[in-house]
Amino acid sequence: MNAFAFRHLPELCGKIVPAEASRLRATDEVLASWDEQALALGLGTRWRCSDEWLEASRRALLSGLDRRQDLWIFAYGSLMWDPALHFTELRRARLSAYQRRFSYLTTIGRGNAEQAGLVLSLEAQPGHCEGLAFRIDASIAEQESRLFWRREMIVGGYQPRLLPLSTPQGELLALTLVSNPGHASHAGGLSLAQEAAIIRRAQGSHGTNRDYLEQLVDQLDRLGIVDGYVQQLSGLVTGPDFLLSAPGRSNYF
């Protein structure tokens, strides 16, 4: 990984998984392994969106962009430490009118069929979300965005948008994934205590749900980002035991 890419945030050098080492870089081989996992879990062959749908979705959003220009991607969850992307620049970034929330149910990555886990999405709310912006060189933007779509839009649980970000180096427009309230994976009505109860118990093929939260907390701490919601949730997850009901199963990542 090119150290120059970390010139604005040297504290993250060595704290982000290189693309070639990521288990989430959705190459043909990785995608085939996910299909095998889904079959083993009894989800069948139609557990994910088709390759044709994924490509159509990608092109619908990105076709209007100038292919000579670099592509920016906003990271607010696992992309902050494991983007599975080749990037040339990294910036701290702020998105207005959205906040990160654990509102996306998963039964493979950080959960299972018996206990769905929760991963992050962006909910439209007053305030802002601070995260990272990754710059993808124009020469590889097609390839990288295709792999990104396979990873993040695998079941269509997000809505891809091009949204303005503020960074210390200037304003930019970035590919951003926001919540899709109409999708079966969306769980936006949970209380903070319910979210904590789920995160305590769930685990899947990528590890425990608690580890996902801890990795988020660690990366936010490195950047000096204070997110009151994440702090409260982390306190509940690591605090005393409590009994809470959790939502039913979901057959999605």
The answer to whether residue 142 is catalytic is no
Rounded-to-integer distance, Cα 151 and Cα 155, Å: 9
- With tokens 């909910």, the residue in question is 123
Catalytic one among 89, 130, 144, 152?
A: 152
The Cα 154–Cα 5 span in angstroms is 28
Task: With cut-offs at 50, 70 and 90, classify the pLDDT of residue 13.
Answer: very high
Rounded Cα gap, residues 233 and 192, in angstroms: 6
Domain total of the chain? 1
Residue 243 inside a domain? The answer is no
Nearest-10 crossing angle of helices 51-62, 141-152: 120
Q: Is residue 212 a part of any domain in this protein?
A: yes
Tell me if 58 is assigned to some domain. yes
**pLDDT, averaged across the chain:** 93
Q: Would you report the helix, strand and coil content of the chain in percent, each value rounded to 5?
A: 35, 25, 40
- Residue 246 placed within a domain: no
pLDDT (tens digit per residue) in 178-237: 999 999 999 989 999 999 999 999 999 899 999 999 999 999 999 999 999 999 999 999
Residue 106, domain member (yes or no):
yes
Q: 192-201 vs 228-238: helix axis angle to the nearest 10? A: 50
The CATH number of the domain holding residue 43 is 3.10.490.10
**Could you tell me if residue 252 is inside a domain?**
no
Quick one: pLDDT at residue 203? Answer: 95
Which helix (H) or strand (E) is 54 found in, with range? Answer: helix 51-62
Q: What is the SS3 assignment for 252? A: coil
Short-list 183, 197, 233, CA closest to 77: 233
Is residue 116 in some structural domain?
Answer: yes
Predicted local distance difference test score (pLDDT) of residue 249:
36
| Residue 250 covered by a domain | no
Instruction: Tell me what pLDDT residue 241 has.
Output: 72
146 pLDDT band, cuts 50/70/90, is very high
Pairs from 5-10 (Cβ < 8 Å, separation ≥ 24): 5/87, 5/88, 5/89, 5/90, 5/135, 6/90, 7/89, 8/89, 8/90, 8/91, 8/92, 8/168, 8/169, 9/90, 9/91, 9/92, 9/132, 9/223
Determine the structural domain holding residue 140 and report its residue range.
3-238
- Name the residue among 151, 113, 145 with its Cα closest to residue 252: 113
- The predicted structure's pLDDT at residue 193: 95
**pLDDT tens-digit map of 64-114:** 999 999 999 999 999 999 999 999 999 999 999 999 999 999 988 899 888
